Amino acid sequence: MIEKATFAGGCFWCMVKPFVEWDGIHKVTSGYMGGHLENPTYEDVKEGSSGHLEVVEIEFDPAIFSYEQLLDIYWMQIDPTDAYGQFHDRGESYTTAIFTYTDEQKQIAEASKEKLANSGRFDKPIVTKIRDAERFYPAEDYHQDYYKKETEHYQQDRANSGRDTFITKHWEQ
């Protein structure tokens, strides 16, 4: 049985690759969730008028790759203490959130967040929100698998963002 998980972690370009290369992950789609505008475009979301966050929707087989494992990967991709965006991407559309589809996912996400908060890894509070999943809107085709399609631009943008420096500092110890 295939389940879905949806995570907001700032720019969705940087949130696809960490998830796609695992057994049990069937599909990772860049898109938008959490806003009030129907069929938002990238420009609507980027300018902040739609209320949506950039997200990745992950279709996975929990018998092979668990929701807990997805959360472990998710936390290592973001700054969970930043309430105003992620790295060089600022604004509501780039904030972090875990969108849950079931009560079980919600409980697992809350326990995972609490475990991270109590770990002592960060000096500031964990501000990543846990929200109920809403309608998912896939992003435009040119955003899908951007790290493959526009490798040079993706690598340059990621290097300039500060994401990898943050990950190294907080997770590669």
Instruction: In whole angstroms, give the CA distance from residue 134 to residue 131.
Output: 9
Instruction: In whole angstroms, give the CA distance from residue 80 to residue 129.
Output: 9
Q: Rounded to 5, what percent of the chain is helix, strand, coil? A: 40, 25, 40
The closest of 7, 8, 6, 17 to 157, measured between CA atoms, is 17
Residue 14 a catalytic site member: no
Selecting among 8, 11, 28, 126, the annotated active-site residue is 11
Helix (H) / strand (E) containing 33: strand 25-33
Cα separation values, 78 from 39, 43, 103, Å:
26, 23, 24
Active site residues: 11
